[in-house]
Amino acid sequence: MRQEEIWNTDVAHGYDTPGTGMFAPEVLEPTVDRLAELAEGGPALEFAIGTGRVAVPLARRGVPVTGVEMSQPMVDRLRTKVDEATIPVVAGDMATARAPGTFQLVYLVYNTISNLLTQDEQVACFRNAARHLAPGGRFVIELWVPELRKLPPGQQAVVGGESGTGHFVLDAYDVLRQHVVSHHFWFGDGEETRMFRSPHRYIWPTELDLMARLAGFRLESRHADWHGAEFTAESRSHVSVYRRGEKGPDQLGG
């Protein structure tokens, strides 16, 4: 299934959940606070900007934001909130699309680097981030830690979800290809059921750091969340901040 088919009109319409889930103030405010701090007042570029969950409040903070996004229905939702002059968006693939200008900060949140399904595309995404930054500029990634410890030998799927919400997740693994397909199910009170499925290539933090090095970045910090909690062996997610070196990706070769 291609990303354009996944992020279709129905998904785009149901994406925003104002005030709850990923749109809850306790999730969004620390995200925006930290990104504004890391941008140091300079312009920011969001890869896979979606409906502007993060970009809209970040722009309201006074940080100029541009986006790259491949789904037109997601951009259409963004356009119900802000116009093109406030948040310009380049239509295309974050591994290759070029937005005009040089940025202080490029960010890619909510696990979205894993939507690129090959290692080559993920490395290309790092290189593309570096191309948009001056030396010293930052690339911030929010990504989950693969939960392979939940997968005993011989088992191919793990079931999770939040108790009492009617939301269940079935993660089906292909460990040879380093892929996981997440199937989300929502069960209503009656017979109503909704399903959303998305394929991912999962990445260990250390592999992510190696991709960064290939593109001329070094790791500046890694925390378990946007508040700056310590990243430990038990952390389920991380916010990693990379800084671009003097040499851009096109001067590094490889």
Ligand X SMILES: C[S@@+](CC[C@H](N)C(=O)[O-])C[C@H]1O[C@@H](n2cnc3c(N)ncnc32)[C@H](O)[C@@H]1O
Question: What angle in degrees, to the nearest 10, is found between the helix axes of 119-131 and 205-214?
Answer: 50
169/245 with CB nearer ligand X: 169
Measured from the CB of residue 3, what is the shortest distance to ligand X in angstroms?
4
7/242 with CB nearer ligand X: 7
96/165 with CB nearer ligand X: 96
Residue whose tokens read 């894993």: 114
119/245 with CB nearer ligand X: 119
Q: Are strands 103-108 and 89-91 parallel, antiparallel or unpaired?
A: unpaired
* Closest residue to ligand X: CB criterion: 50
Q: Are 55 and 87 in contact (CB under 8 A)?
A: yes
Measured from the CB of residue 50, what is the shortest distance to ligand X in angstroms?
3
Tokens read off for 189: 């009170």
110/185 with CB nearer ligand X: 110
What residue spans of the chain are helical by DSSP H?
3-6, 9-15, 25-39, 55-60, 72-79, 119-131, 205-214, 249-252
For the chain, give the longest Cα–Cα distance: 59
Q: Are 108 and 133 in contact (CB under 8 A)?
A: no
Q: Are strands 133-144 and 237-244 parallel, antiparallel or unpaired?
A: antiparallel
Report the Cα 164 to chain-centroid distance in Å. Answer: 27
Beta bridge partners of 66: 45
Measured from the CB of residue 242, what is the shortest distance to ligand X in angstroms?
18
Report the SS3 class of residue 40.
coil
Measured from the CB of residue 55, what is the shortest distance to ligand X in angstroms?
8
Q: Are strands 237-244 and 217-223 parallel, antiparallel or unpaired?
A: antiparallel
140/145 with CB nearer ligand X: 140
- Write out the residues near ligand X by the rule CB under 6 A: 3, 7, 48-50, 53-54, 68-71, 74, 93-95, 109-110, 112, 115-116
Measured from the CB of residue 191, what is the shortest distance to ligand X in angstroms?
28
Measured from the CB of residue 198, what is the shortest distance to ligand X in angstroms?
8
133/140 with CB nearer ligand X: 140
